[in-house]
Amino acid sequence: LTGSGRAFSAGADLKEMTAEGQPAGARPLRTPIREEVWKPIIGAIDGYALAGGMQTSARCDFRVATEKSRFGMPEPLRSLTPINTMDTMEMGFVPLGEAMWIILSGEHLTAQRAYEIGFVQAIVPDREALWVEAKRRAEVLKLCAPLAVQALKRGVHLHMNPPTPPEGKLLLDHLKDLNADLQAKVSNSEDRLEGPKAFAEKRAPNWKGR
């Protein structure tokens, strides 16, 4: 997932927001990346990833950025409140203090700082190198069984934002139940037999996604 021009995404149009007279805050961000897309998403960021742009990049599974890229949540500088679209739960993969600073201060982060706190997984010098690194990571992911990757991604996100279990049920047991359908799909798939067979025959597996 990437942007064009000088930014990955600079967020909502504040002039449009003023014209529409939206008093409560930013318009809700509609990015189904996390909730509905179970294949891995690589964010290829070149330039500004601000406000909604940073929210979108946070919903990717990995982030690769050019050295010139900048991140930030400037909403509090404009009396906007992106809570529930970008809160500490959404930023759960960086330390709490860093997440709070990003959300409350409105200050921009350099790509280097974003890398230091774990928000970005790789920094590259320019856009050409960005595509090389993003494609390299995609090729690594393609070595894995697709059904297993989907099940693992879903399981990770359920653990990051766990639903409330029914009364009398332990959370871990509830999560196991929620993951059971995909887990069974992996266990009963052709790929489940292909993986060990390819290892024994010392060859690359031929994944079919079924």
Torsion of CA 137, 182, 209, 140, to 10 degrees: 10
Average pLDDT of the chain, as a whole number: 84
Quickly state the pLDDT bin for 61 (edges 50, 70, 90): very high
Q: Is the pTM of this model over 0.85?
A: no
Quickly state the pLDDT bin for 181 (edges 50, 70, 90): confident
Closest CA to 39 of 125, 146, 120: 146
Q: Which pLDDT belongs to residue 22?
A: 55
Distances (CA, A) of 184 to 23, 147, 152, 187: 48, 10, 13, 5
Residue of higher predicted confidence among 61 and 87 = 61
